[in-house]
A = this chain, B = another copy of it.
């Protein structure tokens, strides 16, 4: 039986990081520890936020800070699904919850074209970092051909509202996009009556 408590705890503790007058780097580092705890178990993500779409990957908002200082998203990959090459423009954390994800990093040349970097595989419980100016360009895919994979992403903004870009891998030609989110709802983290009940 799923319990929302680990996600509620994560959101509360992540919010409190902003009271500590940390730099964005420090928030990302401290937040990575919280995310590692969150993805160390897989019994808390409500079922509506685990559903793959038949044609494209889904990004379900799980929580957005009311001052839009950070957001938490579940990425749900059906078999074979992947992103185009894209950037973020804010810090990011990727915590693997279920299945397996491949992340291919890209380095952008001065002329705007890309060189393909390493491909890394993420297993459940692992956390990866993204940072503008360091490693902001990547392509992410489900590494499993026959199974849904799910990762939990945290970003230093309301990522669904950030104007950023996808790129043509060969030419480097950039196209601006605002991703939005896959659902009109987010999970209710705050019903403590259910956790107190038997």
Contact = CB atoms under 8 A, between A and B. Distances in A.
Q: How many copies does the complex hold?
A: 2
A184 B191 contact: yes
Interface string A159-198: 0110000000000000000111101111111111110100
Interface residues of A, number: 34
Given A16-B67, A181-B193, 11 more contacts: A15-B67, A48-B185, A61-B188, A63-B66, A161-B191, A178-B193, A180-B191, A180-B193, A181-B188, A184-B191, A186-B188
20 contacts: A12-B68, A61-B188, A61-B191, A63-B66, A64-B189, A66-B66, A68-B190, A71-B190, A161-B190, A161-B191, A161-B193, A180-B192, A180-B194, A181-B188, A181-B191, A181-B193, A183-B188, A184-B187, A184-B191, A185-B185
